[in-house]
Amino acid sequence: MGDTRAQLLDLSVDDANAEARMHEVRKWFRDNGWSAPDPQVYDYRHSQEVSDGPGPLLMGQLDPRRPYFVFTFIPGLDVYYLGDSTGGPKCRKCGEELDIDKVARMIQGWLDSGQEPDLTCPRCSWHAPWGRWELSTSLVVASFAVIIDRDWHVPIGQDWRTAVDPYELPRHFVEQLQADLGGHWVFMYFHD
Ligand SMILES: [Zn+2]
């Protein structure tokens, strides 16, 4: 138990368009007041990438004594996964979880070919591209990610003293990004 992150993945972007998408999405976070440029800020797990600190809208919702909140924007094809207890994708129809060893073996082929595999549920036969499965505790290939780091023990909200699920805001970002910018946004936890 150590690091925790929220991973916001846009599965609609390919490697060639990842850089352009990064600029578009970062502008969205800044324009909406969620993030702000800060050359001092970085995520040590992704120290080569561009990071923003909290923007004016977010600052008002953070504990002013500990306003730590880092957005890191990562273009380029990579594998994203939950971390120390990664599970298989879950069926959206019956909830069945696919065997992690089986799907993990398919990841390299996806990276090499750039072709997203289809998966079939062994229990109910639901059939869909990998990215359409429930992936919040699983793994996937993506060409663009926003990684959020903060002190997850500190609540967030209009009043920072009121306990709120700290992942509510990252999930809200996913919904808003989907509505405003389109694409195919997926939320995934990270625990190491
Ligand atoms: Zn199923």
Query: How many A from CA of 133 to the centre of ligand 1?
Result: 10
Last residue of a domain, one of 98, 114, 136: 136
> Looking at the structure, do residues 73 and 149 belong to the same domain, yes or no?
yes
For the CA atoms of the chain, what is the radius of gyration? 17
Q: Please choose, from the candidates 23, 73, 78, 20, the residue with its C-alpha nearest in 3D space to the C-alpha of residue 48.
A: 73
What is the CA(122)–ligand 1 centre distance, in A? 7
In total, how many domains does the chain have? 2
> Per the structure block, which two tokens stand in for 39?
């050359």
Residue 162: predicted pLDDT: 54
Q: Which are the contacts of 70, defined by CB distance < 8 A and separation ≥ 6?
A: 41, 42, 43, 51, 52, 53, 148, 149, 150
Burial of residue 142, with CB atoms counted within 10 A of its CB: 0-12 exposed, 13-18 middle, 19 or more buried: buried
If asked whether residues 9 and 76 sit together in one domain, one would say: yes
Question: What is the pLDDT at residue 186?
Answer: 97
Give yes or no: residues 148 and 164 share one domain: yes
Report how many helices (DSSP H) and strands (DSSP E) the chain contains, helices first. Answer: 4, 8
**Which residues of the chain fall below pLDDT 50?**
1, 160
Please tell me the distance between residue 84's alpha carbon and the centre of ligand 1 in angstroms.
25
> For residue 137, how far is its CA from the centre of ligand 1 (angstroms)?
17
128 and 101 assigned to the same domain: yes
- Report the alpha-carbon angle 44-50-53, nearest 5: 75
Q: How far is ligand 1, taken at its centre, from the CA of residue 59, in Å?
A: 42
Query: In degrees rounded to 5, what are phi and psi of residue 17?
Result: -105, 10
Q: Range of 71's domain?
A: 4-82+141-191
Cα–ligand 1 centroid distance for 102 (angstroms): 16
State the pLDDT at residue 164. 64
Does 152 share its domain with 168?
yes
Which pLDDT score is estimated for 114? 86
Same-domain pairing of 77 and 19: yes
- Residues less than 5 Å from ion ligand 1, measured at CB: 91, 93-94, 96, 121, 123-124, 126
* CA 9 to centroid of chain Cα atoms: 4
Residue 165's pLDDT is what?
74
Based on the domain organization, do 8 and 63 belong to the same domain? Answer: yes
Contact between 147 and 5 under an 8 Å Cβ cutoff? The reply is yes
Domain co-membership, 132 together with 150: no
From ligand 1's centre to the CA of 146, what distance in Å?
29
Report CA(62)–ligand 1 centroid distance (Å). Answer: 40
Whether 130 and 160 map to the same domain: the answer is no
Clarify whether residues 22 and 57 are in a common domain: yes
- Which residue, of 136, 153, 168, is where some domain finishes? 136
Residues 41 and 118 in one domain: no
Q: Which one, of 182, 188, 189, lies nearest residue 28 by Cα? A: 182
Distance 152 CA to ligand 1 centre (A): 32
Buried b (16+ CB within 10 A) or exposed e, 78-87: bebbbbeebb
* Domain identity same for 27 and 98: no
Rounded distance from Cα 153 to ligand 1 centre (Å): 34
